[in-house]
Amino acid sequence: MESMQTKSNEGWWLTRVVALARLHIYGWRRRAATLGIGLLAVVMAYGVVFGHNGLIVFAQKRSESRQLQAQKAELERENERLKEHADRLENDPSAIEHEAREELHYTRSGEVIVTLPVKAKGSAVALPKGQ
């Protein structure tokens, strides 16, 4: 009878060791899974912020888009101004005359054009003494 009781005591001890080992393995597996998921979340967050289509690139593209919209609006205003100028040149004789006088330096008979020197920026024109 003692030998059976000894075997059952040994079996109980072995069962207890196996149960504790399973608990430790389960705990380590759970910690490793938690660490892996945390690491995966950090890597994904880094990709979302700094990746090829991340938040940083998105902010840069939005800024570039705003600049291009402003440039487009400026070019549209310039285009409209040039269209109005072309219409005036096609239909208004005084506009044609003004353009010919300003750009081409045309004159009417008997007129004389006097061209004054352009003063450089920051330089002062010296007047002769006595004036």
Q: Where are the domains of the chain?
A: 1-50, 51-106
**50 pLDDT higher than 60:** yes
Kindly state the tokens that stand for 30. Answer: 């759970």
What is the structure's pLDDT at 129?
A: 63
Higher pLDDT, 13 or 31: 31
* pLDDT average, residue stretch 28-32: 93
What is the structure's pLDDT at 122?
A: 63
* pLDDT average, residue stretch 113-122: 78
Q: How far apart are CA 10 and CA 12, in angstroms?
A: 5
Q: Is the pTM of this model over 0.75?
A: no
Q: How many C-beta neighbours within 10 Å does residue 82 have? A: 10
